[in-house]
Structure 1
Amino acid sequence: MGLLYDLSTKYKTISIVGMAKNAGKTTALNYLIEEAMDEGMQLGITSTGRDGETTDLVTGTDKPRVYLYEDTIVSVPTQLYELAEAGLEIVRKSNYRTSIGELLLCRVADSGYVQIAGPVATADTKKMCAEMFDMGCELILIDGAIDRKSIASPETSDAIILATGAVLSRNLKKVVEDTSHIVNLYNLPVLEDGDARKLIIDHIKEDRIMLIKGDRAEKLDLLTGLGGSRFIDEAIDKDTEYVYIPGALTNSVIADIHPSRLKQVQFVLKDPTKIFIDAIGWRQLIKKGFSVRVLDNITVAAVTVNPFAPGGYSFDHGVLLEAMQTALPEIPVIDVRM
């Protein structure tokens, strides 16, 4: 039994997320598709954008294509349907539209290469996945074809597979450090049930910075913390327990908050994709007593490593694999190229 079989016993929808372009995301997707064929598993395949083309539409570099086997359910827009080398049977037309046409839900009748695309909105992706399950899918893989921050959101899928590799840096230590940093952020503690969580959720649609003081929420006239750290600092008093930030958490959001107040309160975010602080900066903050909770964290089901970079350099695959496994002992780490 392979990795995919093990994951399918725990999750029904899995997003494949790249740490960066050319991190091996599509290679990981193809690896999992092959495993599903070996296991006789009914797969559904969709995407948060477009994937499967021979050349990256942004960078112009060559990229691996997506090969689908018979009986796979896949979402394909009308403008890409005729480009498929696989035989596709249209099962139904969906109500979702993209910039390249209405999305079709198809069954692969003859194996071959397919360019896939899917809804961009999270709500539409969830609805499409429900339709795919109704069509007999046992597991759905969501290709993260836009950016890793949006597709990693816990609203999108049950878990993610994080693709990383040499493209991040020529320094192997930095590749491992940056990847483990993201995994650790995604596993941040969830704000426990209680008055604070209820107050935040009750007012969350107002999209305001909130200070939780006992049984009340004090909303600041700020839509984002960017450039507003001085105002947050002034609003924190001895009764403040939590500060909810609805948008991005960057160094500038907390730069002017006094160290004693930074240590006094717990910051709360919707999910870890809102954090834009690098590994070094994060360690420095933690040493100062900085504390963060999230309303929902992200399950990283596995990490795939790609030792090759399009820049022409590479790592020894065994060395990269071992280093990543040592850094992430609780998570399966595989080199899908090998």
Structure 2
Amino acid sequence: MGLLYDLSTEYKTLSIVGMAKNAGKTTALNYLIEEADDEMIRLGITSTGRDGETSDLVTGTEKPRVYLYEDTIVSVPAQLYELAEAGLEILELTKFGTAIGDIMLCRVVESGYVQIAGPVATADNKKMCARMFDFGAELILIDGAIDRKSIAAPETSDAIILSTGAVLSRSLKKVVEETSHIVNLYRLPELEDETARKALAETRGEERVTLIDRDGGVQRLELATGLGGSRFIDDAITEDTQYVYIPGAFTNSVIADIQPEKLKRVRFILKDPTRIFINVMDWRQLIKRGFSVSVLKNIRIAAVTVNPFSPGGYSFEHGVLRDTMQEALPDIPVIDVRM
């Protein structure tokens, strides 16, 4: 039994997330689709945006096409239906719209290449996945065709498969370091304090930077985001402050003016790890300074795929990237999808 069979026993929906363009995400998708056919797993295939075209619409670089086997359930916009080389049976015309037409749910009746697309909104994607299960899909793969941060959000799927590779850097060390950083962020601890969780749940209708005291007292600041608000947050933190909830993006500017002793004393809370926009070196410095953070929901990483080749014309020696990445992430399956 292969990787996908093992994953299908634990998850029902998996998002494939690329660390960057040309990190091998579409190659990983094709690898998993082929394995599903071997294991006789009926897949549902969709995307947050559009994928499956022969060249990247942003960079113009050539990219792998998506090949689907018989009985796969796939989402295809009306304007892309005629472009499919596979034989498609239309199961349902949904009301989920895209810039290139409403989404149709189709069953592949003759294997071939398909340009896939799906709704961008997470809520719409979840509803569409439910319909795919109704039509017989056993496992759904969601291709992250828009951007890494949005597709990785925990409400999108049960877990993610993270695709990384040589495109990140000519330095093997840096590729492994940056990938490990993202993995570590995605696996940040979830907030265990139920009193704090309840306090935040009661104020999430209109999100603001929120401070929670040790006795459960709540103070909501007139800040809808922490960006540029570090001086106000610093003024609000007292000896009794235990948590600081930051809605939206979390960057260096959010904490730039918070006094070191206050930064060390409180624990920050974020909705999920995709809100963090801090590089690996700055993050390490924050941790050394005593910074601590929890998330309301973290992200499960089911596997990491590596691509040792870069469109820039350089590559890593066969097996070296995979083996080095596996050493850095010993508890996560690492697959070289190009071999």
Question: TM-score, structure 2 length as denominator?
Answer: 0.99
Aligned to 2:9: 9
Tell me how far 1:205 sits from its aligned partner. 2.3
Partner residue, 2:107:
107
Partner of 2:88: 88
Question: 1:105: Cα distance to partner?
Answer: 0.2
Aligned to 1:324: 325
Deviation of 1:223 (Å): 1.1
Partner residue, 2:235: 234
Residues 83 and 115 in structure 1, CA contact (< 8 A), matched pair in contact too: yes
Q: Could you say what secondary structure the match of 1:293 adopts? A: strand
2:152 corresponds to 1:152:
yes
Deviation, 1:215, is 1.8
Gaps of 5+ in 2: none
Secondary structure class of the residue paired with 2:132:
helix
Q: How does 1:103-252 map to 2 (within 5 A)?
A: 103-213=103-213, 214-252=215-253
Residues 179, 205 of structure 1: alpha-carbon distance in 2 compared, 3 angstrom cutoff: same
RMSD over aligned CA atoms reads 0.6
1:5-44 maps to which residues of 2 (within 5 A)?
A: 5-44=5-44
Runs of 5+ consecutive residues of structure 1 not aligned to the other structure:
none
SS of residue paired to 1:16: strand
Deviation at 1:126, TM superposition (A): 0.5
Alpha-carbon offset, residue 207 of structure 1: 1.5
User: How far is 1:240 from its partner?
Assistant: 0.5
Q: Deviations over 1:273-314 (max 9, x none)?
A: 000011111110001100000000000000000000111111
Counterpart Cα distance in 2 of 1:188 and 1:209: 20
Runs of 4+ more than 2 Å apart: none
- Structure 1 letter corresponding to 2:240: D
User: What's 1:281 paired with?
Assistant: 282
Q: In structure 1, what residue type is equivalent to 2:94?
A: S
Contact 1:317–1:335 (Cα < 8 Å) also in 2: no
Percent identity over the alignment? 76
- What amino acid is aligned across from residue 237 of structure 1 in structure 2? T
Larger deviation: 113-122 or 215-224?
215-224
Residue 65 of structure 1 corresponds to which residue in structure 2? 65
**Which position in structure 2 is the counterpart of 1:315?**
316
What does the per-residue CA deviation read over 1:54-99, in whole Å, with 9 as the maximum and x for residues that have no partner?
A: 0111111100000000000000000000000000000011110000
Aligned length: 338
* CA positional deviation for 1:193: 4.3
CA distance in 1, matches of 2:110, 2:193: 50
